[in-house]
Amino acid sequence: MGKQEVNKHTWKMALSEQKERKPEDILRDFRASFFSMNRLASFNWTFLDNELQSNKSSEFISELLKQTCLHPLCGKFPPSVRFRRIFLSELIKREAAGCDPLDELYDALAQVVGVEETPLCHKSYFLPSGDAVSLLENVAVISEGTTGLVTWEAALYLAEWALENPQVFTGRSVLELGSGVGLTGITVCRSCSPVRFVFSDCHATVLEKLRENVRLNGLGGGKSPSVTVDQLDWTTAPEEQIRRIRPDTVIAADVVYDPEVAGSLADLLLKILKCSAAAEILICSTIRNPETYGGFKLRLEAAGLGHQVLTGPVGAVFPYNRLAPVELIKVFRVQDA
Ligand SMILES: C[S@@+](CC[C@H](N)C(=O)[O-])C[C@H]1O[C@@H](n2cnc3c(N)ncnc32)[C@H](O)[C@@H]1O
């Protein structure tokens, strides 16, 4: 089975499993989707509708509220005001049609009605341990001229892959290129025991948010792993900077989207392999434009680099759109193959 088929297969399995899911699983799914601000259309409203139809009780909605708007995490790291308002409106619509009024639902709505919306929000992604990676992100997908202030599907895909392949990171020095707000790197630091992790990006606001998110998740400050957030531009990074980091593993998610910088990125990967011959390089991409992606692979080839497509994650940890085609490749020097 190819990479994309595996991802679609995982998703189909997840959908078929939905039918057999117990109420506590559904509550966990709602919690995960709510805190990561997943598309509301992807929530399992059918289960809720069936539940209300069969027992006419507001009990399940009350439990749902405890796992979402009334969860302690929502007090600390709340999803956007707008998202919470729309989510609660969906619940009220269903409650009004199917059971007795629930006071706490209207109290929760009162807290978000009339509240001014800000360009920032928190998103939280639950790890298999039950802990959450909480990030400060932008509400808009593109803002301040960068795509780096939100978490992209490829970052979640790569984080899931890392959770299933911790040996690629354990005891190693890891460099992440184009870290954005930090989901993949923070997941690796929290779950895969690297000795050192260097987050990097080129955009000033992205670096500022990244530093904040690293702090928010309890990383750095002399604890293990040793963590730094570096300014590293693929187009200008001096060899000396790479030599200083000397990574064992290099990761990057959703960095192949601009044909203009594809060549610089390929040259940088070659530079890394010249400094650290044994470095394992993993690039995870959402293929939005096959021409752009194919162009990057040609630039790799021109730089004397080969690639191998890796099998993606088998389990679904985070909620995200799994129909987007994502590919994970390992990059190596052809002469070393
Ligand atoms: C689509 S975002 C992906 C962010 C994150 N890896 C994710 O998948 O959620 C691309 C990231 O690459 C960074 N980037 C773009 N061009 C860059 C360059 N020349 N040097 C370093 N980082 C760059 C952007 O600032 C942004 O954070």
Q: What is the pLDDT of residue 19?
A: 57
User: What's the predicted TM-score (pTM) here?
Assistant: 0.92
Give pLDDT tens digits for 305-331: 999 999 999 999 999 999 989 999 999
CA of 77 to the centre of ligand 1 (A): 24
**Is residue 121 a contact partner of residue 37, using CB atoms and an 8 Å limit?**
yes
Residues 179 and 285 occupy one common structural domain: yes
**Of 52, 87, 118, which closes a domain?**
118
Q: Residue 95 — very low, low, confident or very high, per pLDDT cuts 50/70/90?
A: confident
Residues 302 and 158 occupy one common structural domain: yes
Residues 88 and 223 occupy one common structural domain: no
Domain count, the chain: 2
Q: CA-to-CA distance for 264 and 244, rounded, in angstroms? A: 20
CA 200 to chain centre: 16
CA of 304 to the centre of ligand 1 (A): 24
Q: CA-to-CA distance for 32 and 316, rounded, in angstroms? A: 12
- Domain of 297: which CATH number? 3.40.50.150
**Of 81, 98, 118, which closes a domain?**
118
Residues 137 and 199 occupy one common structural domain: yes
Q: CA-to-CA distance for 237 and 273, rounded, in angstroms? A: 14
Residues 95 and 136 occupy one common structural domain: no
CA of 298 to the centre of ligand 1 (A): 20
> Is the predicted pLDDT of residue 11 greater than 70, yes or no?
no
> Is the predicted pLDDT of residue 337 greater than 80, yes or no?
no
> Is the predicted pLDDT of residue 15 greater than 60, yes or no?
no
The pLDDT > 70 percentage for the chain reads 94
Phi, psi of 73 (to 5 degrees): -60, -30
Residues 299 and 208 occupy one common structural domain: yes
Structural domain boundaries, residue 293: 121-336
Give pLDDT tens digits for 237-274: 999 999 999 999 999 999 999 999 999 999 999 999 99
**Nearest alpha carbon to residue 71 among 18, 30, 24:** 30
Residues 87 and 192 occupy one common structural domain: no
Residues 142 and 66 occupy one common structural domain: no
CB within 6 Å of ligand 1 — which residues? 146-148, 151-152, 154-155, 178-180, 183, 201-203, 206, 233-235, 253-255, 261
Characterize 262-273 residue by residue with b for buried, 16 or more Cβ atoms within 10 angstroms of its Cβ, and e for exposed. bbbbbbbbbbbb
**Of 118, 144, 163, which closes a domain?**
118
Distance set, CA 230 to CA 151, 198, 211 (Å): 19, 7, 9
In sign, the C-alpha dihedral spanning 21, 25, 31, 36 is negative
Residues 91 and 230 occupy one common structural domain: no
**Nearest alpha carbon to residue 285 among 275, 294, 277:** 294
Residues 109 and 140 occupy one common structural domain: no
Q: Residue 295 — very low, low, confident or very high, per pLDDT cuts 50/70/90?
A: very high
In sign, the C-alpha dihedral spanning 209, 215, 217, 219 is positive
- Ligand 1, residues 143, 144, 203: which to mutate, most atoms within 8 A of Cβ? 203
